[in-house]
A and B are shown apart, each in its own frame.
Chain A
C-alpha cells in the first residue's frame, strides 16, 4: 500500500536536480521533447537516453522508484521494438524471422500474407522506443523531484492560467491517494475472503469491486474539494499572490540556455537536412551541417 503510494509521490531531497526551479525543469522537458522527436540516429538517441537516466543517479532516487522506472522502460522499449519489427511497413525491409508463413492455413490468410520480423523494423522500433523512453524518463524525473506546489507555481510562472494549472496539479496530486485507496479496497476484500488474484471472472469482479468505492470516493471528494477551495476564495480575484516566490539560480539559467539552444539548433539542423534530402532546398555552404545531421542526428 505504502510502496504503491510512494511510487506516485515526489521524493523530496536536497540535490542539484531537486533544487532546480520548476520552470527550468518544465522548459528543459519541452526542449528535450523537441530533441527526442527530431533525432533519428540510434546512437545519439541512446546517448540522450543515458544522459537522462544519469539524472536519476544525481537525484538519488530511491530503489522503489528506480525499479518502477526499469519495469516501465522495459515494457515500453520492448513493446515498441517488437510491434515495429512485426508491423514495419516501409520499404525496403528485410525478413529475419518468420512467425506465420503466408501459406499457413487460416492464419496465413488472416494476417494478410504471413507475419514476419523485419530488421529495419527492429531498428525503427529501437529509435521509437528510446524516443518514448527518454521523454517518459525525463517526465518522471521531473515529477519525482518536484513538489506539486512548486510545479503549480512553475506552470503559473510560465503563464499557464492558474485554474488550468491548479486542475492539472490537483489531478496529479490525487493520484497517490487513489493508488492508496485502491490498495485499501483490495486489502478490505482480502480480509473478507475475496481473492482478487483469481483469473477469469474474478478479475472483472475485482475491477468492479475496486471501481465502486474508489469512484464513489472520488466523486464525493471532488464535490467536497470544489466547495472547500471555493470557500477559500479560489478564483475570487483575477490575480493571486504566493507564499513562495520562484527565482532562477545561475545553474537554472545555464541549463535553460544550453537545453533551449541545443533544441533549437537540432531542430533547425534536422529541418535543413530534411529539406535537403527531400529536394526542397540545398546550398553547398551548409554541407558541414548536412554531414552532422546525417552522421549524428
Chain B
C-alpha cells in the first residue's frame, strides 16, 4: 500500500536533511504507529505520503515514495490526496466550516453522495468520535480536543483507504482517546483501512497498533510488530520514549513479557505465580475483575479467603489503604456509596471553596489566586465556567484536568486577566482582574498558550527569549536567556527562526520566552502536547526544582501525578475534585465523570490490593512483600519447629520428671 525507498529530504534553507534514507513498507490493512523524539522527522515523513512534500514545501527530495503504486513526486497532488486521508496536528489549520456538521459533510458532499447518505455518514462519524451532541455547534466554540475529534470524524466520514494521522489525539482527554482509537482500530480491521499514525503517546497507543516504527534523527531505527516491540527496552530509554506501564512493570520485576494492557499484565503476573512462584499469590486477590484469576479462582478460593482475612488483619500494622482497597475490591458498591461518597463530599466541599485540605498539606498561606463564584462564557446563554471557587497558594503546582470543553483553558485565561468574569471575582496577587489587563501582570504572570505559534514573533529563538527581559528592563538578560534556552534544550537552535522549528521545538521556545522573565505565576495550556518524555520531564523538573507556582492544563495523568502538588478535576465548567494526586486518582467515579482514566499501574495495583501509584512503588511493594512473605513463612516454619521441639522437650521433660517424681513418691509411700 505504501512503499518508501531510500528517501532523503532537506527543507529549503537548511543544510542538513530531515529525512535520511528512509525505507518503509506498509501493507494494506496495517495499523502502524510512527513515533520518536520531538523533531526526528515523523511529521515530515507523513507529509511525503500526501505529496505535500515536495509539491507544496519545495526543498530537495530524493528516493521514492509510492502510494498504491503511484509515485507521489510524479503524481498530481489532488490524485494522491484522494487516496490518503490526512489528519494534521493542529485542528485549527484544517477546520474551515463554521458548523460542525458541515465540516464532516464536506468530504461526502464532494464525493457526490445522496443527501440521505451524507446525513447518515455525518451521524455515524460524529457518533464514533463522541460529538453527536455538538452536530449543530459552531466550530469556533469547540475546545482543542473537540476540534481534533471533528477532524478525525471528517476523515472517517469518507472512509479512505489510507489514513495518515499526525498526533490526532494529542489534545484529547484519555477516555476520548481510547474511544476514538478503538473505533479507528475497528475500521482498520473491518474495512482494512491502512493506518499510519504519528504520536508521542506510545504508551497509550501501543495496545491498538500492529507495528511500532521508531524514528530518530531522520532515520528509522526500529521497526517491530507491537507484540515484540517491547522485548528490549533499551532503545525506548535511550530515545526518551514512554513505555507502556504494564511492560515497564513486568520488566522491572524481571519477567520476560511485554503485556500492553492491564489484563495482559495481570495474566502475566498470574502465570508467574503459578509457574515460577515469583509474585506472592495474595496480591491476585480480585478474581472477579481479573479474567485470568477468575478461571483459577475455584482452585485458590480457600487460600483467597485467608488472604482477605490477612489483609483486614494487616490494616493496622501495614497501611490502611491496603485494607481499604481490599475492602473496595470485595464490595465495590458499598465502597462507592461509603468511603468514596464520604471523600466525594470532601472534594465537593473543596470545589466549593473549602480548600483547607490542600492548604494544610502545603502549610503555606500565601494565596496568590482567589476565585469566588466565577461564571464566564463566550456567549451569554452558554456559560463555560459555572461558579468556580478556588484558592491557589504560592509554590503550588496545580494540574487542571478534565473532559475536552470542560473549561480548563477558559479558567487559565481568567488567571492572566485575558478574560473578565461575567459574574463573581478573580483576584490575582490580590488584584481584581476586572479592572486589569494582561499588561498589568507583565513579569508576574507567564502564559504559554496551547498554540505556541502565536507567541513567536522574533527572528531567532534567542531574540524571542530575550524579548521579555529587555522589555521589562531586567538585569542579567544574557544569563536569563542562556538559562532559559538551556532549560528547554533549545540552546543549539538559538539562531534558528522560531517559526521554522518543529512544533515541539516551537513550544519549548515559547516556554523559554516565558521562563526568561521568571514570573511568579506560570500558566501552561497543555504543555505536554507534541512533546517526548525527555522534554516533558526536563521542562517539568525545571519548574519543580525552581519551586515555581505553576498551573497547567493537561490530559496526561502520569505527568500530573508526577509533578502536581494538587490536581483539580473539571467537568462541565465546575471543579468536581480538588486534592492531592493520589487522592484524586483513587476516585474512579470522579475520573470517569471527567473522561479520565487511572494509569495502568494504578489499575494493576488496585487489582492486587496494593496502594501504589507508580511502577517504582508497585515494584517496591511487590518485591518487599515477596521477601516479607518468604521471611514470614520461614519464621513460621522455624517457630513451629521450635514449638514442637520445645513442646516435645517440655512434654518429655515434664513427663520424665513427673514419672520420676510419681515413681519416687510411690516408692516412698510403699516404703512407709
| Residue positions of A touching B, CB distance < 8 A | 1-2, 5-6, 9-10, 12, 147-149, 170, 173-174, 176-177, 181, 184-185, 187-195, 208-210, 212-214, 216-217, 220-221, 223-237, 239-243, 245
Contact = CB atoms under 8 A, between A and B. Distances in A.
Interface string B128-154: 000000000010100000000000001
A234 B110 contact: yes
A228 B94 contact: yes
Contact of B107 (A9, A10, A176, A232): A232
Across the A-B interface, give the 5 residue pairs with the lowest CB-CB distance, nearest first. A193-B471, A193-B472, A224-B93, A192-B468, A230-B81
B115 A242 contact: yes
A223 B52 CA distance: 9
A21 B451 CA distance: 37
Contacts of B441: 191
Given A177-B92, A213-B454, A241-B114, A149 B97 contact: yes
Contacts of A213: 453-457, 499
B106 A232 contact: yes
A246 to B, nearest CB: 12
B82 A231 contact: yes
Nearest to B94: A228
Contact of A185 (B77, B378, B454): B454
Given A228-B88, A231-B82, A240-B112, A192 B453 contact: no
Contact of A5 (B140, B155, B471): B140
Contact of B101 (A12, A229, A243): A243
B237 interface: no
Given A190-B437, A224-B88, A243-B101, A233 B158 contact: yes
B626 interface: no
Contacts of A234: 106, 110
A185 B457 contact: yes
Contact of A188 (B57, B102, B447): B447
Interface residues of B, number: 71
12 contacts: A9-B138, A147-B98, A177-B140, A188-B455, A193-B517, A217-B453, A227-B52, A227-B56, A228-B94, A231-B50, A236-B111, A241-B109
A112 B468 CA distance: 51
Given A190-B438, A193-B471, 16 more contacts: A9-B138, A187-B418, A192-B442, A192-B468, A193-B468, A193-B472, A195-B439, A209-B457, A212-B458, A213-B453, A220-B499, A228-B88, A230-B77, A232-B155, A232-B158, A243-B108
A188 B509 CA distance: 14
Interface in B67-115: 77-78, 81-82, 84-86, 88, 90, 92-94, 96-99, 101-102, 105-115
A170 to B, nearest CB: 5
B449 A184 contact: yes
A146 to B, nearest CB: 10
A147 B52 contact: no
Given A213-B455, A228-B86, A240 B110 contact: yes
A279 to B, nearest CB: 54
A174 B122 CA distance: 23
Nearest to A227: B52
Contacts of A208: 457
B111 A230 contact: no
Contacts of B514: 192
A77 to B, nearest CB: 30
Contacts of B513: 192
Contacts of B445: 191
B443 interface: yes
Nearest to A214: B454
A22 to B, nearest CB: 13
A234 B110 CA distance: 6
A230 B110 CA distance: 10
Contacts of B499: 212-213, 216, 220
B594 interface: no
Given A227-B50, A228-B88, A241 B118 contact: yes
B581 interface: no
Interface string B461-487: 000000110011000000000000000
Given A173-B96, A184-B454, A220-B93, A243 B110 contact: no
B427 to A, nearest CB: 18
A147 B446 CA distance: 37
B96 A170 contact: yes
A221 B111 contact: no
Interface string B378-422: 100000000000000000000000000000000000001011000
B3 interface: no
Nearest to B497: A216
Nearest to B437: A190
B119 interface: yes
Contacts of A210: 457
Nearest to A210: B457
Nearest to A184: B454
Nearest to A237: B112
Contacts of A221: 92-93
Interface string B359-377: 0000000000000000000
A231 B85 contact: yes
A240 B102 CA distance: 14
